[in-house]
Chain A
């Protein structure tokens, strides 16, 4: 019942609102067709990032996908926590882990072992629009621990202008969610994996700009 409610909200409200009002378009969702379990890795500029990726996923996959979010930011009130858990299956991680509890990495690893997919923003916090800051190591460690799980690079374009950090006004402007194909980490080295992941996202960014800037007279 709860899952049906969430699916309905996404298909009747969120997705039409995103596409027809805000101006979000989804590209290459076909890469998700054969996907089963994955870790989505995306750049992070806005609160819209998680919503858009969740809305882009087919409902079958959405049920099984958890967004990794900051417990320090979203864990302040119990209402946000329950909303995050309801709509994003959020896993809230905090910087300071209480003694005796599992570390953040162990929590995420456990979820992957349970068969869940993850959405991660390895930049950590929302950065400036158009720039991709350095990645945190957690994603590479997870990929090393779970070699059978692929990562899907996603480039999010324009969301930093729709709702930037520290702003509450939402402005409808064209944004793009561009999925890459599922890939496996080629090495066990954490630094190399991290660079690989970042390179894939930058490739998608380049592709996005090439699509837009294809300079051809007609």
Chain B
């Protein structure tokens, strides 16, 4: 359908309407509650919902605007996430040259993804950046604890740049008879990942007893995990109209994204425990830093992309 002369697929319009209606309901409910009850937990909810508004607007822009704008927005988000990761990891002064090189990897990686140079996109960070980082570190000449930096910087690049950059490749997925476009795929991916966090949290709070990873995140329970995985699968099936797949494949997609999202969350949690920090930053009020929000999506993005390609071809 057309909105002010701008074409938006009807499915995309429908799901965006639902998202914003839910946000309006949340905002007004919490607003009314906060008028009567001025406790910290209520104001925390209000702050969180306000941040969700901003994130929802960002997602809407990525999903509906032309690919070039979506790519630039995603590249900037990845830049913020990488900056945050590099800030919390203790690195040496001699690593500063390599850090600048790491930042330059972002525009190159996103350009390759935007142009759909598939092979270069695949090898740029795991191969070219891996070698470049080591070479620059060697040329810097500071050998004390150099191995640590050689390991940590490429890992950070893979986690925060390579993985989420797969989202840009979704702009190039074309299936005959599929009219929703990349926007639908992006909304599907982000909604499953975000709601999976909420499902796992809610199931764990309601029924959870046995902890699944007591040393890393004591709030994660077996009931939360299994309940979250199943609910995400059901949500995946329900959102199948956003993808070119049928609802059974979307159910499996929901299950896999949920498991992988849990793993991504746990990885970042473990790193935060190691560094003795609660949040990676205080960029998004009520949520912490960018990496606290992106922790599960960094792993679900490539999973979604490759599973999607697999399901389309088979």
Contacts and interface: CB of A to CB of B under 8 A. Distances in A.
Nearest to A175: B87
B292 to A, nearest CB: 10
B124 interface: no
A216 interface: yes
A213 B276 contact: yes
Most buried by B among A171, A173, A215: A171
B288 to A, nearest CB: 10
A215 B218 CA distance: 13
Given A23-B87, A217-B217, A217-B218, A171 B100 contact: yes
Interface string B87-131: 110000100110110010000000000000000000000000000
Given A164-B93, A169-B97, A211 B86 contact: no
Contact of A174 (B96, B99, B276, B281): B281
Interface residues on A, range: 10 to 19
B232 to A, nearest CB: 20
Contact of A211 (B103, B218, B282): B282
Interface in A149-167: 158, 161, 164, 167
Interface residues on B, range: 20 to 34
A218 B224 CA distance: 13
B278 A213 contact: yes
Contacts of A173: 83, 86-87, 99
Contacts, number: 49
Contact of A213 (B84, B87, B277): B277
Contacts of B84: 23, 174
B219 interface: yes
Interface string A20-39: 00010100000000000000
A215 B87 contact: no
Contacts of B96: 161, 167, 169, 171
Given A158-B87, A164-B93, A211-B282, A171 B99 contact: yes
Interface string A178-218: 00000000000000000000000000000000011111111
Interface of B: 80, 83-84, 86-88, 93, 96-97, 99-100, 103, 217-219, 276-279, 281-283
Interface of A: 23, 25, 158, 161, 164, 167, 169, 171-174, 211-218
